[in-house]
Amino acid sequence: MSVAIQILFRSFIKAFYRENAGAFGLLFTMLFLVVAPTHGAGVVEYHYSLIIGFLKGSYFLLLVFTVWLLYAWKCVSFVTHIIQQPACNFLHILNYLSKTKRFFLFLLVEISLLLPVLVYATLIVIVGCQRHFYLHTGLTIVYLLVLSISAACWHVYLLTDADKRKQRGMPKQLWLSRLLNHYPVVLLRVVIKTQWLKWLGLKIITCGLLYGIARNNTTTAYDAATIFWIFNFCILAGSILIFRMREYEERYLSFYRGAPVALWKRFSAYATLYACLMLPEFYTLLVLTPVHLHITDAINFGLCGFSLILLMNSITFLHPFRMKTYLKIALGIGCIQFIFLLFLSLLLLYPLFFLLAAVIFRRGYYRYE
């Protein structure tokens, strides 16, 4: 069993946390580092009141359950994707174990992947028992048990019947003939097919924080700098999606590089794609104007975010960076934006980023290997 645990740890758990390290860093920052002490209340008091809100309101708890379900779905999709890869056929050796042993092995995997949720849920259970919210506390325990057990059962079934199922490849014969004219649509389909859950989670966090914080703005108490910095931080976290999509593109769509398409059309294709992916942020900024956010600030936020995304995309063509190096570059660009926010002007920032994105793309696209 110890060998089987090591195989599962390296195949699923270690790979999952390595891939999503940036997202977990963003979540930790939002939950524990961004919260500033106000009126004598610190981080502990903030989370205590938040947990009480979960336990008192049924709709609030239902929202939490929905977020947990999305995260569990992401974990299940990740494990399922690895099991279905031809390079991971060695996992079929686990079929020689009994179904009971396989179930407990995958249950251990699910518990490990759900660990961030389980740690916070433990705090909810402790507070719920102390404050006598037994109904919602019991529902929380049962809900997490159902998520873990059902996911483990699904993966046992998936591994058992892996040889009977046929791998479904992308139907190239349907879209290959139209690829050159509709490349942004193809890239959008890639996001929907492979990264939609990550995209949805990032949009919920970004738009939720933007809307929640900006609603505190009034004509007498207006703070655009804090809103921009948090919004920009979320956009930077979204560069993880760019990195994963470019990996997919280089693996499956690399032949497009040799196609007879003008360079400006290629750049326009990426600009169109990221404009579509940023529609939720644009809509949120539109909703907040002009009551909670000045129109000029909303335009600056949108253009800065869009130019940042294009710049991070162009940087991926300079060199086949590893995720760790790519995140360091994103952090450095974030520091540059902070300097512009403090000492210069956002009106200078996004023209500079648009120019850099175009220049880097032109320089690196055909040289990238």
List, for residues 69-101, the tens digit of each pLDDT value.
888 888 888 888 887 777 777 777 777 777 788
Q: What is the pLDDT confidence band of residue 162, given thresholds at 50, 70 and 90?
A: low
Q: Which of 164, 195, 224 is the last residue of a domain?
A: 164
Together in a domain, 143 and 260: no
Average pLDDT over residues 209-220: 75
The pLDDT assigned to 32 comes to 67
Together in a domain, 52 and 136: yes
Together in a domain, 148 and 186: no
Q: Phi first, then psi: give them for residue 222, nearest 5 degrees.
A: -120, 125
Q: Encoding tokens for residue 68?
A: 């947990």
Q: Which of 164, 190, 208 is the last residue of a domain?
A: 164
The pLDDT assigned to 31 comes to 66
Q: Which of 164, 182, 216 is the last residue of a domain?
A: 164
Together in a domain, 103 and 238: no
Task: Decide: pTM greater than 0.75.
Answer: no
The pLDDT assigned to 324 comes to 80
Q: Does 369 map to a domain?
A: no
Q: Look at residue 144 and tell me whether its pLDDT is greater than 60.
A: yes
Q: Look at residue 164 and tell me whether its pLDDT is greater than 60.
A: no
Q: How many domains does the chain have?
A: 2
Q: Does 75 map to a domain?
A: yes
Together in a domain, 277 and 358: yes
Q: Does 37 map to a domain?
A: yes
Together in a domain, 322 and 178: yes
Q: Does 127 map to a domain?
A: yes
Q: Does 197 map to a domain?
A: yes
Together in a domain, 47 and 111: yes
Q: Look at residue 304 and tell me whether its pLDDT is greater than 70.
A: yes
The pLDDT assigned to 168 comes to 44
Give burial (CB, 10 Å; 0-12/13-18/19+) of 218: exposed
pLDDT per residue as tens digits for the range 102-127: 888 888 888 888 888 888 888 888 88
pLDDT per residue as tens digits for the range 227-275: 877 888 888 888 888 888 888 888 877 777 777 778 888 888 888 888 8
Together in a domain, 218 and 149: no
What is the domain range of residue 11? Answer: 2-164
Together in a domain, 234 and 350: yes
> Hey, is 215 helix, strand or coil?
coil
Given a contact cutoff of 8 angstroms between Cβ atoms, the answer to whether 215 and 251 are in contact is no
Higher pLDDT among residues 92 and 323, named by residue: 323
Percent of the chain with pLDDT over 70: 84
Together in a domain, 139 and 178: no
Average pLDDT over residues 326-339: 81
Average pLDDT over the chain, rounded to whole?
78
Q: What is the pLDDT confidence band of residue 175, given thresholds at 50, 70 and 90?
A: very low
Together in a domain, 78 and 145: yes
DSSP letter string over 54-115? HHH-HHHHHHHHHHHHHHHHHHHHHHHHHHHSGGGGGGGGGGGS-HHHHHHHHHHHHHHHTH
Given a contact cutoff of 8 angstroms between Cβ atoms, the answer to whether 71 and 117 are in contact is yes
Together in a domain, 196 and 118: no
Top mean-pLDDT range of 176-180, 192-196, 270-274, 318-322: 270-274
Q: Does 189 map to a domain?
A: yes
Q: Does 169 map to a domain?
A: no
